[in-house]
A = this chain, B = another copy of it.
Amino acid sequence: MKRITFLVTAITTLAGAVAFTATASRHAAAQEAAPIFVKKVPAGYRDWKVVSVAHEAGELNDIRAVLGNDIAIKAYRAGKLPFPEGAIVGRIAWSHVSSEENNRTFGRDQSFVAGSPTAAYLQFMVKDSKKYAATGGWGYSSFDKDGKPTDEAAMKTCFPCHQAIKDRDFIFTRYAP
């Protein structure tokens, strides 16, 4: 919970400072009426292909795999923007933990592996230009390890930050060949 609070606070602060322009305010108004987030974990996501991997240090302290469904991966590999309808990009975040076993093998403390699921274990962006028109054509979602979605108020902080990369169709993660 603490981690979610931090993340939301960080994003909200940034949104307040940078992204809450008149445009964002209009979008926020539109969000009152339109759905902006996804309440169900997409089926089969654990079988999806890898887009890339990342590590968030600091309070988040996680290590993550970013995955894509077939529509998303195909678009990524073709360098095609915007992503087509039905594309889903997801990420799994595990706690970033030291591996004593690996360190023994390497003979030094250097190895970190995926530990338990984090508070914001799963996140997805689902492309549906009509349904999620108010948030750039993407629905956002975040789930804990039990599949419980993050509350709607917190989800409203996603889009303002993702606007920073509107020219890449709002997706931060680049494909790692």
Partner-B contacts on A (CB < 8 A)? 10, 13-14, 46-50, 52-60, 63-65, 67, 92, 94, 96, 99, 101-102, 104-114, 117, 161, 164-165, 172-174, 176-177
Q: When the two chains form their complex, are residues B112 and A57 in contact, meaning their CB atoms are under 8 A apart? A: yes
Whether A114 contacts B53 in the complex (CB less than 8 A), given A10-B106, A65-B65, comes out as yes
Q: When the two chains form their complex, are residues A54 and B105 in contact, meaning their CB atoms are under 8 A apart? A: no
Q: When the two chains form their complex, are residues A10 and B107 in contact, meaning their CB atoms are under 8 A apart? A: yes
B-side contacts of A113, CB under 8 Å:
52-55, 173-174, 176
B-side contacts of A114, CB under 8 Å:
52-54, 176
Q: When the two chains form their complex, are residues B10 and A112 in contact, meaning their CB atoms are under 8 A apart? A: no
Whether A54 contacts B112 in the complex (CB less than 8 A), given A47-B49, A101-B172, comes out as yes
